[in-house]
Amino acid sequence: MKGANGQLPKLRPDIRLYLFHGADEAGAADLARRLGATLADAERVDVDGAMLKKEPGRLADEAASLSLFGDVRLIRAAPIGEESLEALTLLLAADRTGSPVIAIAPSIKASAKVVKLALDHPRAMAVACYAPSAAEAEKAAMAMLAEAGLRPAPGLARRIAEAGGGDRALIAQEVDKLALYLDAAPERPHDAGIADLDAIGADLGEAELAEAIDAMVEGKPAELGPRLTRLDEGGASPVPWLRALQRRLVTLGDMRSAVDRGEPVDAVLKRHRIFFREEQRTMRDLRRWSPDMIAIALARVREAELGAMSSGTAGAVRAEQAAVTLARRVAR
């Protein structure tokens, strides 16, 4: 059974397996967390792909077992991949289960066997999680605001989506902070406006963000430090600028590959809609960055993003260190 892209499903008694998959790992993890939170008092059991590969029958056994107090439990399987196909198959074929299984499969493609199993089976739901468009991110922010008991003023959902860099997990964090600030809840709805968002420091200036990304990509560590400091003021998460840096590097990699295949530079710039004032800088970046450099940088930035999502302040410090190290290596 297919769920809407990036949308939070509801727990249903006829669904045994909720599979979140796709490139937006942070978004998948956030959806899984929010779905699990609807069973607030449930005992949680965690398993992963390596465990299920060794004991494929364990998932069905855990889902069929009750807690010590006879209540329904929540089974969380993360991360998993194709190695968990047998375990998921046994779960869906079991005579009886009482507890839902929420699984996160961040590294698999939409054509993977575990995804096909969830799509084809009436007792499973597969939710694809890909980076949303601007319109989808705004729609997701609007839905989260409503769930939190907030009545948003015009433009608020768009501002939150932009501040989160299109990252569903960050959007959810900002909505949670806003609800806490206004003491809002579904049973206590509250109006929310742009001034309230400014009061909690959720917005990242686009100019500051672009300047920081330029300093990283162009190898200017001396300029990068002060710009990261400005982005960090107010305790803002580093994930939006890490995501923006990833997008810049991916685009740069696509352009470099096209040039290496013999496509004229002018045609590449035009196809990627590079603003004419940015053409000279972009051509310098294409000469500066090799395919290997781009691949290594992307791996480091993605690692920094995962650290920032899970380690709070320490993760933010490591993200800034990774950015400065990247800029220094480019400068050399």
CATH (domain of 142): 1.10.8
Q: Take residue 160 and report the two structure tokens written for it.
A: 């939150």
Q: How far is CA 308 from the centre of its chain?
A: 12
128, 158, 173 - which closes a domain:
128
Residue 6: what pLDDT?
58
Residue 141 sits in the same domain as residue 118: no
pLDDT at 133 over 80: no
Distance between CA atoms of 254 and 111, rounded to whole angstroms?
A: 23
Q: Give the tens place of pLDDT for each residue, 299-317.
A: 888 888 777 766 555 667 7
Residue 187 sits in the same domain as residue 211: no
Q: How many domains does the chain have?
A: 3
Q: How far is CA 9 from the centre of its chain?
A: 17
Question: DSSP 3-state assignment of 5?
Answer: coil
Distance between CA atoms of 197 and 25, rounded to whole angstroms?
A: 26
- Please compute the mean of the pLDDT values over residues 6-32 and round it to a whole number: 83
User: The pTM is what?
Assistant: 0.53
CATH number (domain holding residue 93): 3.40.50.300
Residue 277 sits in the same domain as residue 240: yes
Q: How far is CA 4 from the centre of its chain?
A: 16
Residue 247 sits in the same domain as residue 212: yes
Residue 302: what pLDDT?
81
The answer to whether 181 touches 200, Cβ cutoff 8 Å, is yes
DSSP annotation string for 54-112 = H-TTHHHHHHH---TTS--EEEEE-S--GGGHHHHHHHHH-S---S-EEEEETT--TTS
Residue 29 sits in the same domain as residue 66: yes
- H or E stretch covering 124: strand 124-128
Residue 179 sits in the same domain as residue 252: no
Residue 190: what pLDDT?
95
Q: Give the tens place of pLDDT for each residue, 171-207.
A: 887 898 888 889 899 999 999 998 888 777 655 455 6
Residue 109 sits in the same domain as residue 162: no
Residue 307 sits in the same domain as residue 255: yes
Q: Which of 2, 81, 100 is nearest to 43 (CA)?
A: 100
Q: Give the tens place of pLDDT for each residue, 202-249.
A: 554 556 677 888 888 888 888 887 877 777 665 566 777 787 788 888
Distance between CA atoms of 152 and 160, rounded to whole angstroms?
A: 11
Average pLDDT, the chain: 83
Range of the domain at 169: 134-199
